[in-house]
Amino acid sequence: MIRPGLIVACVLAATSAARAAPAPSEEELIGVITIQPRARQAEAYAEALLDKLRREGRSDELRAWVDRMLAMPRLLAGREALILRLQNQQVQMRFLDARILLRQARRNQSVEGLRAAGALLEETARLSRMWAVSVMVRDGFHVTSIADEATALAAMAFDDAGDVGQALRLLGQITTASFVELAGQRMVSLAVRAPVVLHARAFAWIAR
């Protein structure tokens, strides 16, 4: 007969050994993720690698690994939590990159920079809507979807670059209540300056 005390001692010893085991090295994490993506521990290793890169502030490597993991169907198959994390991470990083690019373009008064920032913001909004990313942006008392935030900034970037048609098209996609007023104000300004063929679309949106 096995004594209960002996069972407890064995469980405690196993727990202590697990705690004492060293964490996998970065090379081990990468090895499992890339060579054995269907291994039972691969998802946990992918999460651990992302956490490590974020914690150490290695932003460029984090971006590269997010893109790489999203292109690894064997790693992602059946792992919804990992997919959601990667999608959220990619949208957030692109949004940050686009805002930095927009600030630089405005500071340098670069039309090409404004267009590049607008394109990246529009792509960020597209990904956010496609993946239904639940990333939210706080702005004072408002909470808005990152898709509408990125769309509004993209419209303003194109407007600043002189691409009125692009700006009108993007402003018309905004649905979040806290941005509708902002979009309407911008639409009024654009309608005054827009080519005749765009006037009807601008004023129809303002009047809705």
Q: What pLDDT does 28 receive?
A: 95
Picking from 142, 195, 181, 118, the residue whose alpha carbon sits closest to that of residue 205 is 181
Q: What pLDDT does 41 receive?
A: 95
Flag whether 72 is in a domain: no
139 three-class SS: strand
Flag whether 12 is in a domain: no
Flag whether 1 is in a domain: no
Q: What pLDDT does 145 receive?
A: 72
Flag whether 173 is in a domain: yes
Would the pTM count as exceeding 0.85?
A: no
Per-block mean pLDDT, blocks of 10 residues, the chain (208 long):
50 50 86 95 96 94 96 95 93 92 95 95 90 57 68 89 86 66 56 45 47
How many other CB atoms are there within 10 angstroms of residue 4's CB atom? 8
Q: What pLDDT does 79 receive?
A: 95
Flag whether 40 is in a domain: no
Q: Which residues constitute the domain of residue 116?
A: 108-208
Provide the number of structural domains found in the chain.
1
Flag whether 192 is in a domain: yes
The sign of the torsion formed by the CA atoms of 97, 93, 39, 37 equals negative
pLDDT by residue (tens digit) across 32-90? 999 999 999 999 999 999 999 999 999 999 999 999 999 999 999 999 999 999 999 99
Flag whether 180 is in a domain: yes
How many other CB atoms are there within 10 angstroms of residue 73's CB atom? 8
Flag whether 49 is in a domain: no
